[in-house]
Structure 1
Amino acid sequence: MAEWVQNLMDSMGYLGILLLMILENLFPPIPSELIMPSAGFAAARGDMSLPIVILMGVLGSVIGTLPLYYIGRAFGEERLVKWADRHGKWLTLSGKDIRKADDWFDKHGTKAVLFGRMVPGIRSLLSLPAGMSEMPMPKFLIYSAIGSGLWASALAGAGYLLGENYDRVERYISPVSKIVLGVVVVAAVVWFLRRKRAQTARS
């Protein structure tokens, strides 16, 4: 993966960074923790400009959020509520739960998008609830850009400073990504089991 990322950037330059960061949001196996440090290393070698590397990383990341945002927006809260009321019993999910989640995102969505863009494992997934809750596009883009800017700057800066050892960034962050995903999965399972138990107790 590292060699493929490096070869793409060597052949396409800044456009390669843009393309890779768009793909990273759609295909999580292509990690930004590898793309941006590699680009930072290229800047350290003098092949690229660090500010433009970061700009391309942010631009690609923001563009990459749009497909999932529009999918969430097209699916919509009402459609999801109807689906949950019809078929959500096996997930212990109801339309009321969807509305509660949507209300929560309406209140805290800007923080979720801002800080979530810096959390490996869930950063790309946040676009779906943002679209479903119909977060205004300007607000979504602004907070996505700020969060992505901080993340891209940190990764590219680390690659710039580490030089040939830029791959250490991905090596250190990869376990964090797995831990975050593990926590999310465990939390979902615990919530599911509690809802099942509560339903059983009521019946």
Structure 2
Amino acid sequence: MIGRLTGQLAEKNPPEVLVDCHGVGYEVLVPMSTFYNLPGLGEKISLFTHFVVREDAQLLYGFGSTAERAAFRQLIKITGVGPRTALSVLSGMSVEDLSQAVTRQEAGRIIKVPGIGKKTAERLLLELKGKLGADMGLPLSVADDAQSDILQALVALGYSDKDAALALKALPKDIGVSDGIKLALKALAK
């Protein structure tokens, strides 16, 4: 129903912000990743939103990017994960980190998020597999086995996930594993 809000940032009270849209103030719940990137009070803001209607409340959730909103929507589809838990997950880790954890099936990274236990983390990994990453245009959602091997090799050599992903993005899609590692290492050495 409400897909995006653009207006002036009137108040900031984590995790809630008040967006003044031509005299109407909308209370919007945002993940901390979005909250930290907000402009100052009185400045123009634009948030992608998700509207939730419950028996006892109508809640508006806001996100700085469409990738965050898409991840939120995928999370709330999972049994036992409501909007608050989804907001907590997106506050505790970026969409890229969540995508990496799902791609690599790393429950330990998700368990670090407050309020997420082992069973919930495992359910998230199971149900999000194949739904995060490529759908959202994230660089670490590697569909090709060769690219996945190159990425894992770079991370094993001590490069950060972000640096490895950037090096991988610059490689041709049809490159072999050994040639890909060599080219990626050359790019990373610059």
Query: Which bin holds the TM-score, normalised by the shorter protein?
Result: under 0.3
Which one has a larger percent strand, Structure 1 or Structure 2?
Answer: 2
Structure number with higher relative contact order (C-alpha < 8 Å, ≥ 6 residues apart):
1
